Chain A
Amino acid sequence: MSKRAVDMTFQAIYTLTDLRVLFRETAPTHVLDVKQKAEAERLLLNLERQVASLKQEMLK
């Protein structure tokens, strides 16, 4: 296992935390405006990349 895998784990947690903040900012309806939707999309893409890297590191 590598430091990179640990870094990716933290990064993924932080990305999820940013999504958590978005839930807080839009509670209780969670209706996202255009800017918030773009932010959610960016975060989810990052998360996918981070999980993919993690998979690669841990399962190689």
Chain B
Amino acid sequence: MRCANGIEARQVDELFINIDPIQAGGRLTGDAMKAVMAYGDGYSVCDNCRKPNRLDYISKPPIAEFHKDVADWLSMDSVRTVPGARRGFQAVAHTYVQKGDPVLLTSLSHYTEFLAVEEAGGIPREIPADASSMVTADATAQKIEEVKREFGRPPVLAFIDHVDYQFGNMHDVAAIAKVTRQYDVPILYNGAYTVGILPVNGKELGVDFIVGSGHKSMAAPAPSGILAASAERAAEVFRTTSIVGDITNRKFGIKEPEMMGCTLMGATLIGMMASFPHVKERVKHFDKELDNNRIILESLLSIEGTKILSEYPRKHTMTRIDTIASFDKIAETHKKRGFYLSSALAEKGVTGVIPGATKVWKFNTYGMTRAQAEYLGNTFVEIARENGLAVTG
């Protein structure tokens, strides 16, 4: 079935349980789907844009209120919407990083954080994760000392992922932020996998910035996200324009250079806004998500040879798994080779595992019903049994 010329109607989430690690938290709510249909036209949210002509001042639809609500929800002072978390990293890096400045990242940081540093001319220095793939406050202090010895000054900015994209491990940002504060290093909390998934409180964490991803974790269309700042930092990153045209003497009001003026002006913003009440509610029930995740992991662990590479018990639903000694053994002789696993899963109505992956792979169980979690757990076990793998219990 096509929705337009050459474009298949996407029915992935209607027909399958989708465990794609980056898609689970961005699935739209019904309200977001409805709002997107009504506001799909280009500058649709700008119908009632009045002076001072900036997106976050529009009151109909209630965009201004949304900005305030998100800031309150995260216990931060100011919020802007951005076209994806990466644009939040970019705005902050561009504000604080000059050519040759050292910037603190981690050995598990997302590549877009590196790109933001690169674009600003900074020099990345990674805090190493320990043997259990955790980034600690001690390692942070040690790395800052190393940077001071190397550059004669501390880093100008730190990017710390609360839950990293590689393992889905949860790092102690509050403890890390205590360390960065001791050195006066502004800290950006990367909540791409947490804001909209579980409770996040900027004041409690002690961070200067929070970046969230709408399309990864806030049930919003791509590209969307939020950048939240403390009052002190907001004045810096959300500074207003001062440029003047030399012929026309034009000035540009209260537009913000780091935001390039207005940011999300249509379906992306309205989708994020429509999902927001549901998102606020769902973060309160993250324990249920972990319960569902446990059901699935217990099934997977019952398949002999399967290992969880992420921290365990899990604190997040995105998980890295090692099936070299289980599903990959079948791939060695199966006529479909490594593709047999994604193929068998698809036949049973499960998608989101990279085709061909049977060694080390990731999946995300976020947003399932209990019945779907049980179905998924049973499906893994069934595929294992059908292919002669030993299953305990």
Identify the A interface with B (CB < 8 A): 10, 13-14, 17-18, 20-21, 23-29
Determine if B170 is an interface residue (Cβ-Cβ < 8 Å): no
Determine if B348 is an interface residue (Cβ-Cβ < 8 Å): yes
Determine if B361 is an interface residue (Cβ-Cβ < 8 Å): no
Q: For the complex, what is the distance from the CA of A34 to the CA of B34, rounded to whole Å?
A: 26
Q: Is the CB of A28 within 8 A of B348?
A: yes
Cross-chain contact of B16 among A13, A17, A20, A28 (Cβ < 8 A)? A28
Residues of B within 8 A of A18 (CB): 30
Q: Is the CB of B14 within 8 A of A23?
A: yes
Main secondary structure of the interface of B (DSSP, over half): helix
Residues of B within 8 A of A17 (CB): 30, 33-34, 37
* Chain B interface size range: 10 to 19
Q: For the complex, what is the distance from the CA of A28 to the CA of B348, rounded to whole Å?
A: 8
Cross-chain contact of B37 among A13, A23, A25, A29 (Cβ < 8 A)? A13
Q: Is the CB of B13 within 8 A of A28?
A: no
Q: Name 7 interchain pairs, CB-CB below 8 A, sorted by A.
A: A21-B33, A24-B14, A25-B372, A27-B372, A28-B16, A28-B349, A28-B375
Which of B14, B38, B349, B369 has most chain A Cβ within 10 Å? B14
Interface string of B306-350 (1 = CB under 8 A from A): 000000000000000000000000000000000000000000111
Determine if B17 is an interface residue (Cβ-Cβ < 8 Å): yes
Q: Is the CB of A13 within 8 A of B34?
A: yes
Cross-chain contact of B15 among A10, A14, A25, A28 (Cβ < 8 A)? A28
User: A24-B27, A28-B375, A29-B349 known; 5 other A-B pairs, CB under 8 Å?
Assistant: A13-B34, A21-B33, A23-B14, A27-B349, A28-B17
Main secondary structure of the interface of A (DSSP, over half): helix
Q: 9 tightest CB-CB pairs across the interface, nearest first?
A: A28-B349, A23-B14, A21-B30, A17-B33, A14-B34, A24-B13, A17-B34, A17-B30, A28-B16
Residues of B within 8 A of A21 (CB): 29-30, 33
Q: Is the CB of B30 within 8 A of A29?
A: no
Q: For the complex, what is the distance from the CA of A13 to the CA of B349, rounded to whole Å?
A: 26
B368 nearest CB neighbor, chain A only: A25
Residues 1-25 of B contacting A (Cβ, < 8 Å) = 13-17
Residues of A within 8 A of B350 (CB): 28
* Min CB gap A49→B, angstroms: 18
Q: Is the CB of B37 within 8 A of A20?
A: no
* Min CB gap B169→A, angstroms: 29
* Min CB gap B377→A, angstroms: 14
Q: For the complex, what is the distance from the CA of A23 to the CA of B27, rounded to whole Å?
A: 13
Q: Is the CB of B38 within 8 A of A27?
A: no
Residues 49-77 of B contacting A (Cβ, < 8 Å) = none
Q: For the complex, what is the distance from the CA of A15 to the CA of B15, rounded to whole Å?
A: 19
